[in-house]
Structure 1
């Protein structure tokens, strides 16, 4: 039991470790998920505040300043056609430098000509024709454009060439003014107010010293193009090609979304939407930022769980120790007081196992008595129902090749062991030995969902490995154990006719009975053939009998087979009722236990052939019987002095069994062999006493008696006087 205690202790420790790991994993995931959603909410709020506080007011300022510009000289004169485009260069350069706009473009519909100035490229230019902006739905249109350099080329490495422009219509003829800012201005003016990492300062950002730390904000237009990068590393790239978040390209930018939260294994994304300018501010927080924030909390939680579980396991081990301590004392006491080589635990386990086996055997004996109509205690059946709860399905197992197996008892035990092990997967099992080759099982459990025939097929296959062939009869399932006898009575009908079905069958219901007649004439001819010892005719007659029985199912067939055997046996006994060659009961048992007509045919054939041989021998012995009795008497008269004379001794000389010689000697002399030999010896001793002077001590040995005391007793019993008294009182000549 100490081993059990150790195993339970080890199990508790393993469960402790498993619970600790699983609980920590659950807390880590749930806490991380909670913190992740919390960070997403915080980020969304930050983006919302940033977009509300900065972007909206900033773009409103740009719109107001742009409308005001067209009311001043020389842009006003350019629009009405009184000034040349070159006259506006100095004015645009100055106004762009002092305003929040870094790019200004003015288009005159009357002249169909536009002037523009880019502060970042320090480039003033003119262009014929408008930008083809559609003002049909609004007087203001926001658009992202790329501005070429002075040579008219696009530089992919220059992030400042991208602009977010606000096109405002300034007259009904189609004239407009476009003003806007580059990514650099947007970053400094708008995003500098957002939350920064602890190791980042605004000065480092403005001076371009800081490199990407993994936490970024982006200004994105409605087409998904990044107009402004917090750290100026991705400006101008489209989100459709942006490798930071491949799935982000599938996220819609539409006017119906105020903002949205987006969770992804390596980062959190939140987007603030600006309905008027059609822009988005996107915030990104990577996983390592969250892990570093929640790691101390998770460490404290893990330590707390470990301490609680350690206390719990300690209490469990203490309870186990208290529970097993009395048992350990008992084991120690048994070990000290026992003379066995086994220790106390082994002795107690052995006693427990024996008790369980004894209880199981008592239950099975009660069931056996009940189904075989032997007086049974009803309380025992009730107790059985409480121990074996469920439905009860009876199954009879018959060992088909029982008479051909040399290890009968071992085969029966093997059969029970295999079937109980397979049935054990379904429920508890009770087993009763009905006969030498039949076992009665009661399967206690729910068999409604189980293909019992397939289970029994598995039993057959398992027993084939031990060269044991089995057949089965399945009875009706009962809800009460006391009703199992009704099922057994029905199963007996199938069991009685099992010889008709042959080996390896699994029977569930009784088939229709075929009409069968007893072969009276054939049996008479069979007896006649045995008398004449015609073995060929005996074989043909047996073939005829079994051909009539083949393929038929009837309870009369096993009865007829027994009657045929009894007819042959009765015929043999008519010659000699005391013969010992045939064991009649064994022959009848073999026919009853036969699993097929073929097996029964083998037993009957052997009986008939042995009968033929016996009758031949009997007839030969009868001819010389009279000579044998006289030869035995002559032999005794000549060898009475041999102290070893007996029926067994004589049988070795004459070649007959002691029992046979004793019977014919009794019939011939009307005296038992031993009585005749004693009388003969005493007569010879009397002659020696009366007619010779030999000492009595020599006379008893000469007649084959081994001791003087025994000789005196036999002599006095035979003649009424002792040998000495007879010699003393002998008549004188």
Structure 2
């Protein structure tokens, strides 16, 4: 918190009338409010109140907000063990390029992005400054295999525009979706464009087929076709985000079709961080490859399970009248758990193991009674019971009558 207060002091005018306001500012800083303002997370109404109360004033009349984005080669995420070191490099850049005329401070938006606020006296182009800051940071973080990209907002002169400036910087950074990483993007207004992205109408149907048949090469080919036909269209970032949204929704629909048939639940999360179009398509390619591997493993496992289940079914049919056929005997014979047998009986017979054996034995007893050839003691023994009383009790439980009264 002391760091936030100290950095806010640098943004607060040094005039006496502002010094006396520092005690009033402290509670706002302690609740994170001023930090929120500078990271674009506070509503404009709150900013206006702070301004009207003279709580904030920049040392210089002009400012530019930029956002520095970090990513690592072969992945879009930040490696946490390097995060602190990278932050020190960014702070070093702020100190190095600050002068009497130009003041630079930084605030962490999240683990992937840091806001740089440049405050200066005269309204003049600052493009060169941002390229020098970019080159300095990139040169010093390359040893961590980190790629830096910067988005820069337009020059502002009213602190009330701070939130808008933060959003502009993020919008400029969003140009990386088609322009790629490792450069500086300046916010520019896009003209309305009638250009629409390419997306095949039968995508979901084809994707469902390719996933179910494990044809990853066909998936790569289809994704590559969509990427190549869109990458050079020159549309605004919004167009490419719409493309990615449709891609994600269509992939999820295809997955649902496949997993509903296979009783397997797999999902692909949507990318939430800023990424290039190439990274996004690579992400879906790898994710779908992983899905296919999972489905293959599941299919192989299920094939093995079906063979085992077939053996258990045959064994039960041949041995249900065996008096030694206890649950423990069955689990040891097939080297499975009692829970597995319970789930097995629920799946195939919609009942418990004990109820299934009892029903099978009593059904056999009914057949034998109807022949009129055997005594109840003989039938009890032939149906797997070692105790006539137990046989009588189970018979009545299943049929509703005593075996001696059954006709």
Q: TM-score, normalised by structure 1?
A: 0.36
What is aligned with 1:433?
109
Stretch of structure 1 that moved more, 356-365 or 385-394: 356-365
Number of equivalences: 310
What is aligned with 2:129?
452
Distance apart, 1:515 and its partner CA: 1.7
Quick one: higher RCO (CA 8 Å, sep 6+), 1 or 2? 2
1:530 and 2:208 correspond? no
1:553 and 2:235 correspond? yes
CA distance in 2, matches of 1:355, 1:483: 21
* Counterparts of residues 468-483 of structure 1 (less than 5 Å): 468-483=146-161
* Counterparts of residues 102-501 of structure 1 (less than 5 Å): 359=29, 362=32, 365-367=35-37, 370-371=40-41, 373=43, 376=46, 379-380=49-50, 385-386=56-57, 390-401=61-72, 404=75, 408-424=79-95, 425=98, 426-434=102-110, 436-446=111-121, 448=123, 450=126, 451-453=128-130, 454-501=132-179
Contact 1:364 1:431 in 2 (8 A): no
What is aligned with 2:319?
none
RMSD (Å), alpha carbons: 4.5
Contact 1:368 1:432 in 2 (8 A): no
What is aligned with 2:398?
none
What is aligned with 1:258?
none
Which residues of structure 1 form unaligned runs of 5+?
A: 1-350, 655-660, 681-689, 692-733
Contact 1:366 1:376 in 2 (8 A): no
Distance 1:491 1:670, change over 3 A: farther
Distance apart, 1:621 and its partner CA: 4.9
Contact 1:371 1:488 in 2 (8 A): no
Distance 1:650 1:528, change over 3 A: same
Give CA-to-partner distance per residue, 1:451-487, whole Å, 9 cap, x none.
3233333222222233211111110222222212222
By percentage of residues, which structure has more helix? 2
CA distance in 2, matches of 1:412, 1:621: 42
What is aligned with 1:607?
287
* Counterparts of residues 50-69 of structure 1 (less than 5 Å): none
Distance apart, 1:611 and its partner CA: 3.1
CA distance in 2, matches of 1:505, 1:514: 28
CA distance in 1, matches of 2:105, 2:68: 13
SS of structure 2 residue aligned to 1:518:
coil
SS of structure 2 residue aligned to 1:431:
strand
SS of structure 1 residue aligned to 2:146:
coil
Distance apart, 1:559 and its partner CA: 2.7
What is aligned with 1:638?
328
CA distance in 2, matches of 1:401, 1:372: 30
Give CA-to-partner distance per residue, 1:287-309, whole Å, 9 cap, x none.
xxxxxxxxxxxxxxxxxxxxxxx
CA distance in 2, matches of 1:646, 1:504: 56
Distance apart, 1:352 and its partner CA: 6.4
CA distance in 2, matches of 1:640, 1:364: 69
SS of structure 1 residue aligned to 2:105:
strand
Contact 1:460 1:469 in 2 (8 A): yes
Distance 1:603 1:623, change over 3 A: same
What is aligned with 1:235?
none
SS of structure 2 residue aligned to 1:504:
coil
What is aligned with 1:571?
254
CA distance in 2, matches of 1:667, 1:637: 17
Distance apart, 1:403 and its partner CA: 6.7
Give CA-to-partner distance per residue, 1:39-72, whole Å, 9 cap, x none.
xxxxxxxxxxxxxxxxxxxxxxxxxxxxxxxxxx
Distance 1:405 1:525, change over 3 A: closer
Distance 1:602 1:448, change over 3 A: same
CA distance in 1, matches of 2:75, 2:140: 19
Distance 1:522 1:418, change over 3 A: farther
Give CA-to-partner distance per residue, 1:551-606, whole Å, 9 cap, x none.
33332223322422332233223343674554x32xx12xx435323322221211
Contact 1:496 1:558 in 2 (8 A): no
